[in-house]
Structures are given as structure tokens and as C-alpha cells.
């Protein structure tokens, strides 16, 4: 009985410490349809908040973590997808974009956000700590053009590194829904990343590879994704 009481008290102390923890604060700009408004972004234990100053005080917002569908974290900004409807846009989910954050912002807040958001946190940053087993130069395809970079595969994730703004990505193996290929110069990764108009299902990201992808490497990546999902993998695949 004493052990249970001590364990319960310990858990309460940890929770209390988390709640009391000082928020991380950063000057940021809330992107509006025209220009934007400046204020302070606070990353707290139970929520995110943005306090806009000046004439834009009405744009100040708070978001509990459970009310965030997805948060895309980049080097100098965040894009928040909420459950709010934009009625005049036929129920499109409302997004908030904050930019102008200081260099190193993503690294400072990631460890706070990850345990609270899990797979809802999308890292638009190439993780420098991920050690690739192999990598290959590639072009990320987009509807109106694309970006040039390097696709790197590690035991525990996939990284796309590019100089294009907000386009790099780090996908832990557990956040990848599927991989597929139409040939040695093609690789598609289906992720859980979502957009305001895109509900349900995964988003496919397709790469044109500048060097042929070895079949053994592709098969190993495919198996790693399937095993992470708890699926039985036969030796024939």
C-alpha cells in the first residue's frame, strides 16, 4: 500500500512540475491574408498560445494540444491545422501560420511538442542526428514544380534534405504508412501529413531519383515500414 501511495505522489509531483514549467517564448509573426501581425508565441506544458500586439489583438489565440490536428514544425515557423471550420470555404479546416521565429527554434521546442502531439507533429526539418544507411540525390515532385535535394534512409527513419524553404522533412519509420515504387528511378512515401482540404488517408510524397534504387535497399525499407505497423512479413517480399 505504501508503495502505491509513494508512486501516486511521485506521478503527481512530475505532473505538477510539468504544469509549473516555465513556457518557452518567442517573438513571431502571425501570417494574415495581407502582411501579418507581430506578437509572442508561448510553448507551454498544456497548450500553445500567441499573443498578438497592436491593432491585431483580436487575432490572439490559444490552442490546447488535443485541439491541434497537426503541427508542421520548420526552422523558423509553425503551421497549425485545427478542427475549426472555415464556413465560407465550405468547411475547410482552419490553419494558422506563424513565421519569423529565431534560428534554432525548431530544435528548442521539438522535445516539448513531440510527447504531446506524437504523430501529429510533422518535422519540416532534416534531423541532423539521423544516421543514414544509404542516401540518393532526388527531386521532390510537386504540382507546380519541385525541389532538388537528397533522400537519406536510416534504420529508424527517412530524411529529405533540401535548400528549399519549409520543404525538408524527417519521417520516423512509425509515421510512414507505406512506400512504393514504379521503377528504379521512382520512390513514393505515404505519410500521415494532412492539409486543410485533405481529410483522412495518407498523403503521398513522390521522388524522382537521380540514381537507380537498389532492389534490396527498397525491400528492406518496405519491410521495416510493414513491421513497424505490426504486420507479418514473409521472406518472399
Give the separation between CA 212 and CA 163, rounded to whole angstroms. 23
Whether 37 is in a domain gets the answer yes
According to the model, what pLDDT value does residue 84 have? 87
Nearest to 173 by CA among 108, 113, 116, 231: 231
What does DSSP assign to residue 67? G
Domain end, chosen from 70, 102, 123, is at 123
To which residue does cell 533540401 refer? 162
Do 112 and 194 lie in one domain? The reply is no
Question: In terms of domains, do 76 and 100 share one?
Answer: yes
Please indicate, yes or no, if residue 71 is contained in any of the structural domains.
yes
Residue 70 falls inside a structural domain: yes
Does the global pTM surpass 0.85?
Answer: no
Where would I find the beta strands (DSSP E) of 154-213?
157-162, 169-172, 176-180, 186-191, 203-209
Residues 117 and 141 occupy one common structural domain = no
Let me know whether 95 and 143 are in one domain. no
Strand partners, 109: none
Q: What is the pLDDT of residue 142?
A: 84
218 and 191 in a single domain? The answer is yes
Contacts of 204 (CB under 8 A, 6+ apart): 188, 189, 190
Asked if residue 143 and residue 96 are part of one domain, the reply reads no
**Residue 217: which CATH number?**
2.30.29.30
Rounded to whole angstroms, the Cα distance separating 42 from 25 reads 4
Chain segment 144-198, per-residue pLDDT in tens: 789 999 999 999 999 999 999 889 999 999 999 999 999 999 999 998 887 645 5
**Per the domain annotation, does 89 fall within a domain?**
yes
Domain limits at 214? 134-228
Task: Please compute, for residue 100, the number of CA atoms within 13 A of its CA located in the half-sphere on the CB side.
Answer: 13
Residue 233 lies in a domain: no
Q: Is pLDDT above 50 for 12? A: no
**Same domain assignment for residues 114 and 32:** yes
Same domain membership, residue 109 and residue 37: yes
Q: How far is CA 206 from CA 108, 176, 185, 190, in A?
A: 30, 13, 11, 9
Q: Which residue, 123, 152, 174, sits at the end of a domain?
A: 123
- Answer for the pair 207, 188: CB distance below 8 angstroms, yes or no: yes
Task: Please identify, among 89, 123, 157, the residue that sits at the C-terminal boundary of a domain.
Answer: 123
Q: Please count the structural domains in the chain.
A: 2
Which region holds residue 154: left if phi is over 0, alpha if psi is between -120 and 50, else beta? beta
pLDDT in tens, 33-79: 677 889 999 999 999 999 988 777 878 999 999 999 999 999 889 99
Amino acid at each position: 500500500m505504501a508503495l502505491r501511495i509513494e508512486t501516486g505522489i511521485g506521478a503527481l509531483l512530475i505532473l505538477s512540475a510539468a504544469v509549473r514549467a516555465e513556457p518557452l517564448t518567442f517573438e513571431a509573426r502571425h501570417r494574415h491574408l495581407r502582411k501579418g501581425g507581430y506578437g509572442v508565441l508561448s510553448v507551454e506544458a498544456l497548450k500553445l498560445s500567441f499573443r498578438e500586439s497592436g491593432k491585431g489583438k483580436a487575432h490572439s489565440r490559444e490552442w490546447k494540444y488535443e485541439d491541434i490536428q497537426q503541427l508542421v514544425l520548420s526552422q523558423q515557423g509553425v503551421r497549425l491545422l485545427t478542427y475549426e471550420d472555415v464556413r465560407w470555404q465550405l468547411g475547410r479546416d482552419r490553419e494558422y501560420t506563424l513565421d519569423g521565429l529565431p534560428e534554432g527554434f525548431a530544435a528548442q521546442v521539438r522535445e516539448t511538442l513531440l510527447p504531446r502531439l506524437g504523430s501529429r507533429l510533422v518535422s519540416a526539418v532534416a534531423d541532423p542526428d539521423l544516421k543514414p544507411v544509404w542516401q540518393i540525390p532526388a527531386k521532390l515532385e510537386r504540382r507546380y514544380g519541385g525541389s532538388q535535394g537528397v533522400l537519406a534512409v536510416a534504420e529508424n527513419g527517412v530524411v529529405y534534405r533540401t535548400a528549399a524553404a519549409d520543404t525538408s522533412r524527417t519521417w520516423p519509420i512509425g509515421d510512414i504508412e507505406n512506400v512504393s515504387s514504379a521503377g528504379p528511378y521512382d520512390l513514393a512515401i505515404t505519410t500521415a501529413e494532412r492539409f486543410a482540404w485533405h481529410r483522412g488517408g495518407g498523403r503521398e510524397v513522390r521522388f524522382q531519383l537521380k540514381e537507380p534504387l537498389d532492389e534490396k535497399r527498397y525491400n528492406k525499407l518496405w519491410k521495416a515500414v510493414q513491421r513497424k505497423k505490426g504486420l507479418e512479413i514473409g521472406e518472399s517480399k
